[in-house]
Structure 1
Amino acid sequence: MSRQKNLIRRHPLLSMVLPVLIVLAIWAWQHRVALQVFPDIISAYTAKEYCSCRYVTGNPAQYCRSYVKQYLPATLQEDQATRTVTASGLGRSSRAMWLGQRQGCRLL
C-alpha cells in the first residue's frame, strides 16, 4: 500500500491522466463505427451541398464555397460541363452530380 501512495506522490499528473486515457479508450471503442464513418461525412456533405447550391439554386461559385466551408479542410473541384462536383477531405473523396431541376443533386 505504501508503494502505491509513494507512486501517486511522485507522479501526481500521471495518476490523473491515466484514468482519463482509459475512459477515452473505452469511449472510442464503443463508438468505433461512427468514428470510422466520420471522414466520409465531411466530403459527402461538402460535395452534395455545393452541388445543390450551384446548380439547384443557381448561386455563384464564390458564395457556394463560403456556404459549404467547414472547420475541417475540404477541397472542391467543379466540372461545369457535366455539372459534377468532387470534394476531398480527411483523406476521403466524394462526388455529386446534378441530375435535373426536379431531381436536384445526388451523390455518386
Structure 2
Amino acid sequence: MNRRSFVRRRPFSTLLLILLIALLSWIWQERVALWAFPDIISGYTAKEYCSCRYVMNNPAEYCQSYVKQWLPTSGFTDDTARKRVTVSGMGRSNNAQWIGERRGCLLNP
C-alpha cells in the first residue's frame, strides 16, 4: 500500500487551498474597510468635484475630467443654483455642498 501525503500528491491544490485560506483571513480582518469602500467612491467624487467647481471656480467640463476614476459612477447631479453635487456609485449616494468662501465644500452624510 503506497501512502503518500496529500501535499505530495496534489501540490498545486494544496497551494491554492493555502492561498484561499489566506485571502479569506485577510478579507475577514479588513471587512470594515471593505464595507466602507463603496461610500468612498461616491463621497470622494462629490467632494472633489464640488471643490473643483465652486471653490476653485473651474469649468464643469474640466472638473468632470478631474474627478474621473477607473470605477465609474452611476449617477451625477450638479445643482448649480444650490451649489450642491450628488454622486451615486456602487449602490451608494453622497452629496457635497458649497458652504462659503472660508469653509469651502462639505460632504453631507
**TM-score, structure 1 length as denominator?**
0.88
**SS of aligned partner of 1:69:** coil
Does 22-31 or 72-81 show the bigger shift? 72-81
Does 88-97 or 74-83 show the bigger shift? 74-83
Gaps of 5+ in 2: none
| CA–CA separation in structure 1 for the residues paired with 2:44 and 2:65 | 14
What is aligned with 2:101?
A: 101
| CA–CA separation in structure 2 for the residues paired with 1:100 and 1:86 | 18
Name segments (4+ residues, structure 1) moved above 4 Å.
Answer: none
What is aligned with 1:66?
A: 65
1:17 maps onto 2:16 in alignment: yes
| CA–CA separation in structure 2 for the residues paired with 1:93 and 1:2 | 58
What is aligned with 1:2?
A: 3
**SS of aligned partner of 1:58:** coil
**TM-score, structure 2 length as denominator?**
0.87
What is the CA-CA distance between 1:8 and the residue it aligns to? 5.2
1:34 maps onto 2:33 in alignment: yes
**How many residues are paired up?**
106
**SS of aligned partner of 1:50:** helix
**SS of aligned partner of 2:106:** strand
What is the CA-CA distance between 1:13 and the residue it aligns to? 3.4
Deviations 1:62-91 (A, max 9, x none): 110111111111132111111110011111
Deviations 1:24-57 (A, max 9, x none): 0001111111111111111111000000100011
| CA–CA separation in structure 1 for the residues paired with 2:59 and 2:14 | 55
Q: Percent of pairs identical after alignment? A: 57
- Counterpart of 1:89 in structure 2: which amino acid? G
**SS of aligned partner of 1:2:** coil
The structure whose residues are more often helix, as a share, is 1
- Counterpart of 1:81 in structure 2: which amino acid? A
What is aligned with 1:84?
A: 84
**SS of aligned partner of 2:94:** strand
